[in-house]
Amino acid sequence: MKLSGKVAIVTGGSRGIGKAIAKEFAVNGASVVISGREQKNLDESAKEIGAFAIQADIRKESEVQSLIEKTIEKFGRLDILVNNAGVFPKIKLLHEISDSEWRDVLDVNLNGPFYATKYSIPHLQKNGGAIINIASSAGIKAYENFNADAYSASKAALVLLTKCWALEYAKNKIRVNCICPGVVETDMTSEFLSTPATREMMNYAYPIGRFGTVDDVAKAALYFASEQDSPWATGAVLPLDGGESLK
């Protein structure tokens, strides 16, 4: 098993992409901690996929610090961090976005990964390890009528931070990589993908002929998490979008 003996944290792991990654890691032998805001949802998902649940709001530094400390208390080490928790704002033109709407997105999508990475690094430095940032194709390309600028800004920042952290911590054998998915069917996109017409339009938009699934992202995360599979990959930014970002 590729992650045998490894300990991983997946933020926002109770559903969607995070849950699929946590499941893939658990199946591959890792001890997996999933974190999120609601204990009940976390407990249900943890039971289903064989993970350990720790409640933590990613926007709150003290809760994130405690998430890392509790993981170390429970498992004694940390090898893999997946910065996955994220939110998508209401679609609005830039000049219509309020200050609080802007900050709400950056709090989760940018400050969250900062806190989780900050408190994980001292533990990852002990044995080396892997950080996987879940950004978005919106972090590498502008889309007409997308109108989610705080989201694009947060994901573009995560793309560059991937490179900064990769360069800084390569000496500690911490590999830092980033996945930029296109549209993946989850709760985040369910409203958008709710009509047959939109689904068909989206499938058509992707050169490979379909939009993404959570398992597409989980397989890519396993690649970056596995020292065996990707020992030389660090600072990589992987567009995972059926070729859409090439257009």
Segment 182 to 211, residues that bind ligand NAD, using CB under 6 A:
183-184, 186-189
Segment lying near ligand NAD (by CB under 6 A), choices 22-30, 123-131, 176-184, 228-236: 176-184
Segment lying near ligand NAD (by CB under 6 A), choices 115-123, 161-169, 177-185, 231-239: 177-185
113 lies in the site for ligand NAD, by CB under 6 A: no
CA gap 16, 123 in Å, rounded: 27
CA gap 164, 183 in Å, rounded: 26
Site pattern 12..41 for ligand NAD (x: CB under 6 A): x-xxxxx-----------------xx----
238 lies in the site for ligand NAD, by CB under 6 A: no
181 lies in the site for ligand NAD, by CB under 6 A: yes
84 lies in the site for ligand NAD, by CB under 6 A: yes
78 lies in the site for ligand NAD, by CB under 6 A: no
Instruction: Label residue 106 exposed, middle or buried (CB < 10 Å: 0-12, 13-18, 19+).
Output: middle
CA gap 238, 216 in Å, rounded: 12
Site pattern 124..143 for ligand NAD (x: CB under 6 A): ----------x-x-------
Options 27, 43, 70, 87; binder of ligand NAD; rule CB under 6 A:
87
Q: How far is the CB of 232 from ligand NAD (least distance, A)?
A: 25
59 lies in the site for ligand NAD, by CB under 6 A: yes
Q: How far is the CB of 179 from ligand NAD (least distance, A)?
A: 8
158 lies in the site for ligand NAD, by CB under 6 A: no
What is the contact surface with ligand NAD in residues (CB under 6 A)? 12, 14-18, 36-37, 57-59, 84-87, 108, 134, 136, 181, 183-184, 186-189
